[in-house]
Structure 1
Amino acid sequence: MKVGIAKLGAIGSAVLLEYCLDELAMREDIETFVVSSGSKIRVEIIEEIEKRDFDLKIVTCPNAEKFLKNIDLSGKVIVITDKASKDWLNNLSWGYVVVKADSMIGARREFLDPTEMTIYNSDLLKVLAVTGVIRLLQYEINKALKKDDYLPRVVVDYNTAVKFAGFCNPYAKAKAIASYVIAERVSKITHKACFAERDAEKYVTLCATAHEMMRIAGMLADEAREIEKSNDTVLRTPHSKSGEILKKIGLYDVLI
């Protein structure tokens, strides 16, 4: 199976997406082709996956409704984004995964440099991984590849995310929910900082506030996983060579 991925701009869910489909580089049933427009959102790069033959096409884009509403793609398509209206999603012929916690970064020049950008995304990736978002993407994309008539239509809130996380300890689950909720609310702060506030001191402070929130979200996610590790109840779902998703919980358990 051939998967074409077009990455427009930057969302956390896109950073390691192709690696999450073949984390051991051992799957014999899948090939991936990835194009990216970098930090800029350039919709014309979608042509690179449209002119090739893929079993599944994936487009990742922040605020997909704004940038993809006039885009046509043939075949099976999944769009992964951070926000979209119900009306747009209801009329969309593609599959979709909307990750509410995949919040916009504090993109102000006086605040954001490459170091700050990397730290923010490392915290965000931890939130997405521990709370279940990465596993949700793993399962939904695999299901779309295996079933001809299936495309995901999922808006990921904290309830949806933690179902895929597989927590055994209720305190770990509670910390993960707190992590997701905080990460989701970061976007309200960064949106105001980037687009509404004109006073430099105020918008720099808001950017810093949002990044501190994501740092705490990452810490809570880390604490949730540490609880599961201490109880030897960490869920692991690696791919087999044939692309099936295997499962184990105890560190020394056998994969099934």
Structure 2
Amino acid sequence: MVVKVGIAKLGNIASGVMAELLLDERADREDMESFMATSGTKMQTEDIERVVSNMKAWGPDFCIVVSPNGILPGPTSAREDLAKAGIPVVVITDDITSKKDKFDELKASNFGYIIMKADSMIGARREFLDPVEMADFNGNLIKVLALTGAFTKLQVALDEVIDQVKAGKKGADLVLPKIVMTADKAVDGEFVNPYSLAKARAAYEIAQGVAAVTVKGCFMTKEWEKYIPIITSAHEMMRHAALLCEEARELEKAGDSVLRKPHKKDGVLVSKTKLISKPE
């Protein structure tokens, strides 16, 4: 059986850049196929409606709706419209846990969710953010999410949904993930060297803290002379978080203990730690 996985990408967070790639890293899986529909950089009503329409027409076994601030009206309407069409939905978004009422509604719903707490907002001020700075920030953030283990946990959770579909479950019978990706959750089981784990954990905590700084610089500070250094400091935080992740991985390399978990063609996950070895 070939499982159809839809990805509705509304606006951009770093997790959305990699969502379908994490499930088929060598583009050779024979048990699944994916389709992405995107609203581009914006999340206007008409753009989101077009994404939902395309996704319904493709008819996935389940759909991932990935967006910043997943409790906004646009992402909310997208998942609700897909659910009305009988398509199970997993929401992937940045940290919305502080918006307690809305988050409680999501928790109580039939939607799955993966809250990536470190997938922090960028410093979106014109005096600072040009295309190169945007790409550099997202590159650093992707490195943090990848090397701390956050992407691995996300990928495994989605693989578990795929496995359920392969086993014959569908619709409301699917058990969807409900995960808040904290630092402890991300690094769990990923490292042998305790210093590697500590560095990766520190990186995740720093990346998670970037959001508070960018919100201050983008929404709470009016004077440009003041908000430019604020958002610049947020990007410096993300750069150093990425450097900590590199240090953590280099320590694991030195001990020949980097954990690798590739997919086989049939979707089964295998693993290894020794570089010169075959995954089993």
- If the TM-score is normalised by the length of the shorter chain, which range does it land in? over 0.9
Tell me the amino acid that sits aligned with residue 228 of structure 2: V
- Give the distance between the partners of 2:29 and 2:58, measured in 1 at CA: 21
Tell me the amino acid that sits aligned with residue 227 of structure 2: Y
Aligned to 1:123: 140
Aligned to 1:189: 213
Aligned to 1:14: 16
Matched, 1:203 2:227: yes
The question of whether the paired residues in 1 share the 8 Å contact of 2:95 and 2:118 is answered with: no
Aligned to 2:54: 48
Matched, 1:77 2:89: yes
Which 4+ runs in 1 deviate beyond 4 A?
none
Distance 1:61 1:114, change over 3 A: same
Matched, 1:251 2:269: no
The question of whether the paired residues in 1 share the 8 Å contact of 2:137 and 2:239 is answered with: yes
Matches of residues 71-110 of structure 1 in structure 2 within 5 Å? 71=78, 72=80, 73-74=82-83, 75-84=87-96, 85=100, 86-110=103-127
Q: Is there any run of 5+ residues in structure 1 with no aligned partner, and where? A: none
Structure 1 SS opposite 2:65: strand
Alpha-carbon displacement from aligned partner over 1:73-107 (angstroms, at most 9, x marks no partner): 23221010002243132222210000000000000
Aligned to 1:23: 25
Matches of residues 57-76 of structure 1 in structure 2 within 5 Å? 57-67=63-73, 68-71=75-78, 72=80, 73-74=82-83, 75-76=87-88
Tell me the amino acid that sits aligned with residue 39 of structure 1: T
Alpha-carbon displacement from aligned partner over 1:60-85 (angstroms, at most 9, x marks no partner): 01110123334412322101000224
Matches of residues 156-235 of structure 1 in structure 2 within 5 Å? 156-163=181-188, 166-235=190-259
Structure 2 SS opposite 1:227: helix
- Give the distance between the partners of 1:214 and 1:235, measured in 2 at CA: 24
- Give the distance between the partners of 1:227 and 1:15, measured in 2 at CA: 27
Structure 1 SS opposite 2:71: helix
Q: TM-score, normalised by structure 2?
A: 0.88
36-45 or 145-154, which deviates more: 36-45
Tell me the amino acid that sits aligned with residue 49 of structure 1: M
Q: Is there any run of 5+ residues in structure 2 with no aligned partner, and where? A: none
- Give the distance between the partners of 1:209 and 1:126, measured in 2 at CA: 18
- Give the distance between the partners of 1:112 and 1:201, measured in 2 at CA: 15
Q: Give me the identity figure in percent.
A: 45
Q: TM-score, normalised by structure 1?
A: 0.96
- Give the distance between the partners of 2:179 and 2:107, measured in 1 at CA: 11
Aligned to 1:154: 179
- Give the distance between the partners of 1:19 and 1:79, measured in 2 at CA: 17
Tell me the amino acid that sits aligned with residue 3 of structure 1: V
Matched, 1:32 2:56: no
Aligned Cα root-mean-square deviation (Å): 1.2
The counterpart of 1:236, out of the listed 246, 252, 260, is 260
Structure 2 SS opposite 1:6: strand
Tell me the amino acid that sits aligned with residue 28 of structure 1: E
- Give the distance between the partners of 1:51 and 1:59, measured in 2 at CA: 16
Aligned to 2:153: 136
* TM superposition shift of 1:156: 0.5
The question of whether the paired residues in 1 share the 8 Å contact of 2:115 and 2:179 is answered with: yes
Structure 2 SS opposite 1:194: helix
The question of whether the paired residues in 2 share the 8 Å contact of 1:65 and 1:88 is answered with: no
